């Protein structure tokens, strides 16, 4: 298996710095996703790893060996580019066996390899089909088989799901997760879709404008983003201006909120000297939409477990609108003067105008600094 280290890697084109001083280490056997909006440098990073681009500055190490000494074909890489690279005049079998044939492998070797890949990529019955006779999902699987036929240690995948419908995309995700384990590969996936990244990755490298914003596990990135940009890119969230008045208490416009998430040293959170201190500019308490808990007010009032001690993280809110999202219902509500959103499973059925009890669980509150 292969560990890949990018050290200050930079690649600039005339007007754009596509990749700007990117440093990250992808461990051997790890599944890492390069995530970010279109144009943030994901494909360029893959091309740098593949040896199809040369860094202007910095370098890339493969198991500690500089890419300067490794040609593209000596890096043990299988690369599935964003536009399919199948040869139109070759059938599936010939496309898959292209690399072993060029490497003068025996017929026996090729046949055995082909049988394994046809099996693992679910391509039975398509051996003799030509690319233009295949569906998008089938073509994508042949392209992956073609990349794996070179027995790579690293698999690079550029937006492999982008042209597939939801069901095919899900099938291919499962297949890729499976191949990652079975073939003991280091995988670098590129996508702009945070859901795909969350579902598949050991770690996600979030890029904006060619720069690395955060490199961490999907859980870290989703629940504990280090910047506002990361927080917003990963999913919907409410942001309340805040001041930290003790290790576990945030003062916000709706009242005091208890948080279990620890203060991060590197963020230099300063605890206010008194409770009366103003809300700090650019300090926010983040609460993801689905973390808010709603209960019809009457029931909650009767409940003996409801806790109204301050800071209880429990408030009375009024629903102002409701949107049906299929698996979820999104409620907009007003608490004091703040508008908040909550995504709930489609029960209980609340109506605009209803008063509700709103709870913000302490573990789902995250203090963030940013604009
Ligand atoms: P992504 O894959 O994240 O959409 P790319 O890596 O393709 O982003 O591109 C990053 C930036 O670099 C874009 O602004 C793009 O226009 C620019 N770029 C990429 N390749 C070239 C090239 N060969 N010549 C000029 N500009 C390029
Ligand atoms: Mg791209």
Same fold yes or no, 4-230 and 236-369: no
Contact 231, 368 (CB under 8 A): yes
Mean pLDDT of 182-209: 97
Q: What are the domain boundaries of the chain?
A: 4-230, 236-369
CB of 252 shorter than 6 A to ligand 1: no
Where residue 247 falls among pLDDT bands split at 50, 70, 90? Answer: confident
Instruction: For residues 266 and 277, give the distance between their C-alpha atoms in angstroms, rounded to a whole number.
Output: 22
Determine if ligand 1 sits within 6 Å of the CB of residue 40. Answer: yes
165 to 136, 137, 169: CA distances (angstroms): 9, 9, 6
pLDDT 10s digits, 122-179:
999 999 999 999 999 999 999 999 999 999 999 999 999 998 999 999 999 999 999 9
pLDDT at 305 over 70: no
Which of 13, 20, 37, 83 has the most ligand 1 atoms within 8 A of CB, as the residue to mutate? 13
Task: Check pocket membership of 41 for ligand 1, CB cut-off 6 A.
Answer: yes
Residue 268: the pLDDT is 55
In short, whether 44's Cβ falls inside 6 Å of ligand 1 is yes
* Closest by Cα among 179, 170, 113 to 144: 179
Q: Is residue 190 within 8 Å of 166, Cβ to Cβ?
A: no
DSSP 263: P
CB 5 near ligand 1, within 6 Å: no
Which residue is closest in CA terms to ligand 1's atom 20? Answer: 44
Give the closest residue (by CA) to ligand 1 atom 23.
13
Q: Strand 186-191 vs strand 31-35: parallel, antiparallel, or unpaired?
A: parallel
Identify the pLDDT of residue 324: 92
pLDDT mean across residues, the chain: 91
Q: Mean pLDDT, to the nearest integer, of 266-278?
A: 64
Per DSSP, the three-state class of 345 is: strand
Question: Which residue CA neighbors atom 26 of ligand 1 most closely?
Answer: 13
Residue 264 has a pLDDT of 55
Confidence of residue 54 (pLDDT cuts 50, 70, 90): very high
Q: Point out the ligand nearest to the CA of residue 158.
A: 2
Which contacts of 8-13 are long-range, i.e. CB under 8 A and separated by 24 or more positions? Answer: 8/57, 8/58, 8/59, 9/45, 9/48, 9/55, 9/57, 9/58, 9/59, 9/60, 10/55, 10/56, 10/57, 10/58, 11/41, 11/44, 11/48, 11/53, 11/54, 11/55, 11/56, 12/56
Nearest CA to ligand 1 atom 12: 18
* Torsion from C-alpha of 193, 196, 202, 204, nearest 10 degrees: 0
- Residue 304 in this model has a pLDDT that exceeds 80: no
The predicted pLDDT at position 130 comes to 97
Tens of pLDDT along 207-235? 999 999 999 999 999 999 999 999 999 99
Distance CA 28, CA 63 (A): 8
Q: Distance, CA 39 to ligand 2 centroid (Å)?
A: 7
Determine which of 41-45, 171-175, 367-371 has the lowest per-residue pLDDT on average.
367-371
Q: With CA atoms as reference, report the closest residue to 189 among 24, 59, 51, 35.
A: 35
pLDDT at 311 > cutoff 70: no
Assigned fold of 236-369: OB fold (Dihydrolipoamide Acetyltransferase, E2P) (2.40.50)
pLDDT value at residue 348: 65
| Superfamily per CATH, domain 4-230 | P-loop containing nucleotide triphosphate hydrolases (3.40.50.300)
Q: Which ligand is nearest to the CA of 40?
A: 1
Q: Which of 70-74, 75-79, 203-207, 348-352 has the lowest mean pLDDT?
A: 348-352
Asked if the model's pLDDT at residue 309 lies above 90, the reply is: no
Model confidence over 82-136: pLDDT tens digits? 987 899 999 999 999 999 999 999 999 999 999 999 999 999 999 999 999 999 9
């Amino acid at each position: 298996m292969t560990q890949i280290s990018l050290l200050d890697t930079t690649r600039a084109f005339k007007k754009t710095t596509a990749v700007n001083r990117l440093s990250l280490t992808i461990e051997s056997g790890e599944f890492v996703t390069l995530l970010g909006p279109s144009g943030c440098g994901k494909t360029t990073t893959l091309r740098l790893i593949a040896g199809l681009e040369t860094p202007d500055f910095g370098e890339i190490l493969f198991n500690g060996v500089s890419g300067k000494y490794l040609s593209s074909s000596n890096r043990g890489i299988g690369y599935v580019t964003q536009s399919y690279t199948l040869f139109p005049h070759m059938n599936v079998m010939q496309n898959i066996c292209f690399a072993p044939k060029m490497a003068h492998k025996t017929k026996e070797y090729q046949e055995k390899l082909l049988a394994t890949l046809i099996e693992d990529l679910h391509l039975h019955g398509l051996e003799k089909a030509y690319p233009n006779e295949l569906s998008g999902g089938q073509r994508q699987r042949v392209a992956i088989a073609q990349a794996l036929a070179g027995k790579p240690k690293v698999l690079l995948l550029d937006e492999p799901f982008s042209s597939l419908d939801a069901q095919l995309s899900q099938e291919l995700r499962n297949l890729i997760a499976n191949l990652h384990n079975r073939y003991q590969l280091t995988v670098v996936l590129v996508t702009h879709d945070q859901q795909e990244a969350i579902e598949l990755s050991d770690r996600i490298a979030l890029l904006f404008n060619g720069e690395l914003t955060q490199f961490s596990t999907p859980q870290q990135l989703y629940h504990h983003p280090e910047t506002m940009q990361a927080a917003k890119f990963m999913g919907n969230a409410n942001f309340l201006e805040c001041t930290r008045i003790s290790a576990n208490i945030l003062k916000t416009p709706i009242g005091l909120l208890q948080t279990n998430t620890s203060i991060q040293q590197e963020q230099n959170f300063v605890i206010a000297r008194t409770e009366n201190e103003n809300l700090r500019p650019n300090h926010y308490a983040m609460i993801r939409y689905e973390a808010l808990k709603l209960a019809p007010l009457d029931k909650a009032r009767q409940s003996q477990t409801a806790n109204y001690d301050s800071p209880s993280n429990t408030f009375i809110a009024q629903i102002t609108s409701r949107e049906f999202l299929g698996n979820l219902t999104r409620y907009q509500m007003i608490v004091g003067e703040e508008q908040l959103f909550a995504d709930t499973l489609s029960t209980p059925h609340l109506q605009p105008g209803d008063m509700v009890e709103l709870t913000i669980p302490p573990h789902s509150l995250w203090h963030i600094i940013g604009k």
